[in-house]
Amino acid sequence: MSKIFIKTTIEADIKTVFDLARNIDLHQESTSKTNEKAIAGRVSGLIEEGETVTWRAKHLGFYQTHTSKIVSMEKPHQFTDVMLKGTFKSFKHQHTFTQEGKNTVMTDILEFESPFGIIGKVFNKLFLKNYLIKFLLERNNLIKTTAES
C-alpha cells in the first residue's frame, strides 16, 4: 500500500475551503487535462456523505472509470472517499481541514494499492505515485486560487 500526504495552506475560512474541496464542478475544472467528467451519481454541486460519483477520464493514454463513495463527513473538518469500482486494487482519500488564524490547512491523505502484483508495485514506484501527487497538487492549486480570490 502506498501513501501520499499533502498539506496546502489557504488564506480563506474553513467552510469555503471545505465546500470547494467537495465541489464536483471545480474538480472537473481542475482535471481538464485528463478530460475528467462526472458521469453518474452526483454529477455537479457539493457531494454529501453517502453519495457516490463515477468519473470518466483519460489517464496514461486510456479512458478509465472510477466510482467512489463519501463514507464519512464531519462538516467542515473532514470527509473521506473510497473507491467502489475502478482500476486500483484499493483507493482511500481522506480530506481534513483545520483553521489556523486566517488560514485553513487542507490535508490530503491518499492511500492506494496498484493492481497486478509485483508489476503494479514496480509501476507505482517508477511512475504512479508521482503522477498522483502532481494530480492532487494541480487540484489543490485551483482550490487555493479560487478560495483566495
DSSP 25-60: HHHHHHTGGGT-EEEEES-SSB--TT-EEEEEEEET
| Nearest one of 120, 115, 118, 123 to 66, comparing CA atoms | 115
Question: In the chain, how long is the greatest CA-to-CA distance?
Answer: 46
Angle in degrees, CA 113, 119, 121, rounded to 5: 35
Q: Residue 42: give its domain's CATH number.
A: 3.30.530.20
Give the cell for residue 80. 473521506
Give residue 1's pLDDT: 84
Give residue 146's pLDDT: 98
Q: Note down the domain range covering 69.
A: 2-148
Q: What is the pLDDT along the chain (149 residues), one digit of tens a residue?
A: 899 999 999 999 999 999 999 999 999 999 988 889 999 999 999 999 999 999 999 987 889 999 999 999 999 999 999 999 999 999 999 999 999 999 999 999 999 998 888 888 888 888 999 999 999 999 999 999 999 99
Residue type, 6: I
